[in-house]
Amino acid sequence: MAAKLPFFALLLTVCCPAASGSKQPHIVFILADDLGWYDVGYHGSEINTPHLDKLSAAGVRLENYYVQPLCTPSRNQLMTGRYQIHTGMQHQIIWPCQPYCVPLDETFLPELLSEAGYATHMVGKWHLGMYKKDCLPTRRGFHSFFGYLTGSEDYYTHIRCSPIAALNSSRCALDLREEEAAAPGYKGAYSTELFSQRAVRIIAKHDPKKPLFLYVALQAVHSPLQVPERYVAPYAFIRDPSRRAYAGMVAAMDEAVGNISLALRQAGLWANTVLVFSTDNGGQTLEGASNWPLRGRKWSLWEGGVRGVGFVSGPLLQRPASASRELVHVSDWLPTLVGLAGGRLNATKPLDGFDVWNTISKGFASPRLELLHNIDPMYNDIAPCPGSKRLRAFDGDAGVFRSGFNVSVHAAIRSSNWKLLTGYPGCDVWFPRPGQNGSSPGASEPLKPVMLFDVLKDPEERNEVSALYPAVVERLLGRLSHHQQSALPVHFPDEDPRCDPGPTGAWGPWA
């Protein structure tokens, strides 16, 4: 007679597939940069994305999925599973000369997967700090790295230009690294193709007996608007030159994703692969992107800034060819993927993310009932916004506390169907659908210091209903106050002039 399993061992066989001896899945995470909600074919765009459409149609499209409104915060939460208020990074991005990175006492996703036996590789954009070597990808869990340390590079020369205020000058220098060394030998190679080719090479060389974690953080479709003409040619009908170039960049990115998924099949890995695709934030309308019909854009807490394009694909999904409208957030990927890998979470600080694999794979209800978008007492939107002069109607409310929360502070929280915003959420207009001749950004009534929307019924955030639901308002203000109590002080240091790479150097660690 077989020995009876202890209860905890029996539990492992039920809840943790890797722990029960089943094969650990390969995990491929592809992150796009600044991809707008409207800019995929399956959301009705005029831009063709056949590979994204096909992969998502065979998988699970995440239609109630949220990211942060800027790149560093989203990447921070992806890697730590923790809200940015808990890492002191609730304000803006990391600029090239700022001497900080995601705190070194935070445990990163690749560290946990490496501990679980995975080969971990990163290709693409880091943007989580690089002022000293301990901040680099290869010091934070990745076995290999090929890509950028900052952002906004030239797609062909891989040079990043940045002002250095402390020196009262600007510097243009290479920002491309292979492992930890500058990689000057790739001038002329278009980064979308360069990064996808490197990802394909990693997949082809990988030992299928060992689980793979491949993180491909594409530069596309962030500005500058650069793309080979062959990708732009099919979009000659788009009159707006920025939108036309952007469409070509999306097409190149779509082809890159298709090449990566094909490589997984050719290497015999696809049958045991979970592929995740996500944007890092909403699209930047100043650079050809569209979040139509959602309000706002990148840098804002409106839906256009934080509702992200995302899907999961692969044969391991139990309910493929479906769309999930359950609440999922970028911070959920760490516990979800570590859980799939059979890894352990006991090395992390308290997580804000949830394991949502059963939600995605089986269609279960999401364990996430609430989502803190952000609390940033230093917020400023550096990009021009149409009609911005009318956005200061509530300046007199600065310092007014309700339910223990300062309602002049830039903040937003989601609870079930409700979304509450305080302070100035960022550029608030409705940018028209691309190609609508003669249309201009839609105006709204002057903003209020506290605004409430039912985003399930009103995803475009057109009907502000705080006066109708005062109890909901007070409850969510109380939740913001609760979160604020656990927030670290904002860490956003002044530039360090020692960052200067010199006329022939490369951006990289200097401290």
- Active site residue ranges: 71, 127
Question: 52 with 277: CB under 8 angstroms?
Answer: yes
Residue among 320, 273, 259 at smallest CA distance from 29: 273
Report how far Cα 150 is from the mean position of its chain's Cα atoms: 15
- Residue 278 has which token pair? 């996500």
Strand partners, 146: 123, 178
Helix axes 71-80, 333-341, angle to 10 degrees: 30
- Residue 344 has which token pair? 């352990």
Q: Which amino acid is at 194?
A: L
Number of Cβ atoms within 10 Å of the Cβ of 446: 10
Three-state SS for 268-304 is CCHHHEEEEEEECCCCCHHHCCCCCCCCCCCCCCCHH
- Residue 489 has which token pair? 């002080």
- Residue 54 has which token pair? 């096909």
Number of Cβ atoms within 10 Å of the Cβ of 281: 30
Strand partners, 277: 30, 311
- Give the strand order in the sheet containing 410-415: 370-376, 410-415, 418-422, 450-454
Q: What is the largest CA-CA distance in the chain?
A: 80
Please state, in angstroms and rounded to a whole number, the distance separating the CA atoms of residues 20 and 56.
29
Distance separating the N- and C-terminal Cα atoms of the chain: 64
Pairing of strands 212-217, 169-174: unpaired
